[in-house]
Amino acid sequence: MNTISDRARIFDLPVDIVTFPDILQRVDKAIKTGDQIKIMYANIHTLNLAYLSARYHDILGSADLVYCDGAGVRWGARLLGYRLEPRMTGADWIWDLCARAEKKEYSIFFLGAEEGVSQQATGKLRDAFPGLRVAGYHHGFFAKEGEENNDVVELINRSDADILLVGFGSPLQEEWIDENAQRLRVPVIWGMGAVMDYVAGKVPRAPRWMLDHSLEWLYRLLVEPGRLWKRYLIGNPLFFFRIIKYKFTGRF
């Protein structure tokens, strides 16, 4: 039973009930009007972060659009009475976004990943979409405050990009967007996670059968157990415990 406003509420955070074409329409409108929008995603990891951090909760809550990026979030929303659209993950939607950008002649600035990876990823995207306007790219390993950060903000502004994709991982990318959005002259600012790593081939995608059965988290755990065991083996059950608690108490 979707709400009239087409937004689910999970831990008092709005998660938009949208398809990817809906998001692209919002992107079109923002670029046409010049009114800046911030797009972020909700998965179990980001919602667990928001559950514990008031600052991060406020940052996600202030985004203009928050979409579902995880099957677990869909299941959690279902327990609360909402039907979210199928999850949208950056490793999939980046190709559709670039196709749209090529057709509409939008320019994209790619910010994130290690030095060299961003260049390799943009090269692959240009190969796939020869007409794609890449406004620029920059690695994500720079000081997020002070002179170095100011230089990156100015580089983005000089690029005259229509869309800025920010991929530092959560919560760093959302915090950076929140702290710098007012200084950025970009209509669309979008947190993308590890998209550049996937495009460049640095991080492999799960086999199709695992993707089709909502098991990409398991594949990622097998590939990077040392980094991700806590997020998935502890974070996933904890998320559903919190969902049930939220369902019956309305508090988090």
Per-residue pLDDT at 129: 97
The parts of the chain modelled with pLDDT lower than 70 are: 1-5
Rounded Cα gap, residues 201 and 193, in angstroms: 15
- Taking the CA atoms of 101, 106, 112 and 118 in sequence, report the sign of the dihedral they define: positive
Q: Strand pairing of 37-42 and 65-68?
A: parallel
Rounded Cα gap, residues 37 and 148, in angstroms: 25
Which residues does residue 112 pair with via DSSP β-bridges, in sequence order? 167
Per-residue pLDDT at 4: 39
Per-residue pLDDT at 250: 82
Per-residue pLDDT at 242: 97
Q: How far is CA 249 from CA 136, 230, 241, 246, in A?
A: 47, 26, 12, 5
Per-residue pLDDT at 234: 95
Per-residue pLDDT at 251: 80
Q: Which of 186, 194, 193 is nearest to 38 (CA)?
A: 186
The pTM (predicted TM-score) of the whole model is 0.94
Per-residue pLDDT at 214: 87
**SS3 call for 145:** coil
CA-based radius of gyration for the chain:
18
Per-residue pLDDT at 5: 54
